[in-house]
Chain A
Amino acid sequence: MSITEILFYAFSGVLLVSAIGVITARNPVHAALFLVFSFFNSAVLWILLEAEFLAIVLVLVYVGAVMVLFLFVVMMLDIKVAEVREGFTRYAPLGILIALIVVAEIGSVVYVKTLGQEVTPVTQVAAEAGYSNTGALGELLYTKYLYPFELAAVILLLAIVAAIVLTMRRRAGLKQQDVGAQVSVRAKDRIRVVKMPPVIEAGEKQS
């Protein structure tokens, strides 16, 4: 067993365990964290395949951005696990049906594969030293696909503008903090000391 194979089995084993963790964890936050963990493990598998760019993107985009946002949402929402599980028996037949279909599909693919003659194993050709697939992707993006690439950037700019237009506005009756006013406030603005002459009832003087 070469070191690559050992690494592959180790990381894909952990990947499978954490993937099972995603669906069995009772706490949604734990499930999300398991998902982050499985992303990390699959990123390592990409690196083993010499696809370092995809590995970095997977970590940066999915772990760094998507999952963090997801965790925020999960923590913000008050998800009652018991309520989610209530419908389990009701939806179980449908779930089992879908699972069976997926199993049948996987089986058919394997079956078709075995029908053919000898399955030629894909021998991995190691890329020559100094080859960078980040560089290769970048070269394509900035030459052949320069125009669509720039347009995609414009779409992102538009998305920012549109999102700000639609959400940033002053609503009537909205209560906001004005930090400047809070800092510069003085005691005399807050409390007004009023001198009032004591009022003494006529009957209280005696006794």
Chain B
Amino acid sequence: MEAVVTNFGMQAAAAEIFLLTAICVILLVDVFLDDSKRWVTYGLTMLTLAGCAFVTVNYAVDARVTAFDGMFIADPMGDVLKLFTYGTVAVSLLYSREYLQRNGLFRGEYFILALVAMLGVMVMVSAGSLLTVYLGVELLSLSLYAMVAFDRDSGVAAESAMKYFVLGAISSGALLYGFSMLYGVAGTLQLDELAVGVREVGASNIGLIFGLAFVIVGIAFKFGAVPFHMWVPDVYHGAPTPVTLFIGSAPKIASFILAIRVLAEGLDAMVASWQNMLIAISIASMIIGNVVAIAQTNLKRMLAYSTISHVGFILLGILAGTNDGYRAAMFYTLTYVIMAVGSFGMILLLSREGFEGDQLEDFKGLARKSPWFAAIMMMLMFSTAGVPPFVGFWAKIAVLGAVVNVGLSWLAAVAVLLSVVGAFYYLRVIKLMYFDEPSDTYNIEAGGTIRAVLSANGVAVLALGIFPSVLLDLCARVLP
């Protein structure tokens, strides 16, 4: 037999290869550490993230490059999303360290699971085939299930992990079933060939639409969009706060790229079909998310419903079906991730020994205790609500503009009305902080790192709001 020597264009996947190698090294190093030296694992994890960023920048591409027989895609959009992913994972681990140490969760496996989850996100970002899309989804979800159940002494966490696992398995099944239908009709798993295949068979082929419906179910579930949102509040509430922070940030980038790669690249000829499905999902998400969030007293649960409503907005950009819309959705996703990381970071800032700080009550009178962090929280809440001059406002404008451009003005009007409803519960947090008396006398005990990073996070929301073109231009450059 003749041996074929090739390197499959492996350098395109340099960051993934580096990360996987680093994961294996950390896994081995961690075994030889005792509990007092666990910071070595933490440090190595941070070094790995920095290394990934270095490798990604070093091997950045100007145009689309495929590797591994088309299974892997490297493109400028992927590079930017990967760099953002490293950033959010690094920030969320910085926020989490104290909480993890305090609750006996500061173990090596936590960081391993976080890094594997990140690898899953990267695989999805660079997926060129439905097969790799699915493997990325599984890599991410399996790590997340384990992370939710990480605190083994917490019954609530175990319960929410169980719910997440069962529902997640069903949704993966739906996604896979949809993929198999697409394969059956188009005869290929490769996304670029799928796009050609769909045009050949015709977008109105019943088998394709059948498959598409299941794919949409899978994507909506991973996003946490209504009516597949049932897991979101329970998981956000039940999981330890650092895990909630993690789930609320990097996986959102993964869901966005999942929708872009499968719908916008593989099934772009079927835009008429998936546009209608996404319109329904998007409106339902905005209604349920914004209205039910009003009734919540737990901040983690409230932010879970807020996530659902933001997912509705991200879907608005995607369903526009134009490059303009995808850009807006990408901009929205990135700004949402920055804001979500900050909001959950605030909960971690307030938490202390035996106190979670995740009730709305706990924010009462924060302005008296710490005017600076009350201001940071205010900026985050205003931005999430979409108040100018914060960055959340520009994200909403971009998405609404894209929807109006494709002639769906009524949808934009509905979205604006519902975000006004949503403004209520964000403003309530601000009211509690500034106009209510503190319910206890404790001060913020968090350390210097979390204070510094959280301050930077809050200032970033304001700075990006004043200079939105930095991020907007970036999105425009990678999605021309």
Q: A: which residues have CB within 8 A of B?
A: 135, 139, 143-148, 151-152, 154-155, 157-159, 161-162, 164-166, 169
Contact = CB atoms under 8 A, between A and B. Distances in A.
A148 B132 contact: yes
Interface string B105-135: 0010100110010010001000001011001
Contacts of B71: 145, 147-148
Given A148-B131, A161-B113, A155 B146 contact: no
Contacts of A157: 116
A159 B142 contact: yes
Contacts of A155: 135, 138-139, 142
Contacts, number: 67
A165 B150 contact: yes
B69 interface: yes
Contacts of B42: none
A162 B129 CA distance: 27
B6 A162 contact: no
A165 B27 CA distance: 12
Contacts of B72: 147
B221 interface: no
Nearest to B145: A162
A89 B474 CA distance: 69
Interface in B1-50: 1, 4, 6, 8, 13, 20, 27
B116 A147 contact: no
Given A148-B131, A154-B119, A155-B135, A162 B152 contact: no
16 contacts: A135-B1, A143-B8, A143-B69, A145-B71, A145-B131, A146-B68, A147-B13, A147-B68, A147-B71, A151-B132, A151-B135, A151-B136, A155-B138, A157-B116, A158-B143, A162-B143
B149 interface: yes
Centre residue among B20, B67, B129, B146 by max chain A CB count within 10 A:
B146
Contact of B132 (A139, A147, A165): A147
Contacts of B152: 166, 169
Contact of B20 (A145, A154, A159, A169): A154
Contact of A144 (B69, B139, B142, B145): B69
Chain B interface size range: 20 to 34
Contacts of B1: 135, 139
A155 B137 CA distance: 11
A158 B123 CA distance: 15
Contacts of A166: 146, 149, 152
B113 A165 contact: yes
A157 B107 CA distance: 18
B242 to A, nearest CB: 15
Interface string B142-161: 11011001101000000000
Centre residue among B135, B142, B143, B145 by max chain A CB count within 10 A:
B135
Contacts of B149: 166
Nearest to A160: B27
Contacts of A144: 69
A139 B146 CA distance: 34
A162 B146 contact: yes
A85 to B, nearest CB: 31
Contacts of B150: 165
When A and B form their complex, which 8 residue pairs have the shortest distance between CB atoms, in order from nearest? A162-B146, A147-B68, A151-B135, A165-B109, A147-B71, A144-B69, A148-B131, A158-B116
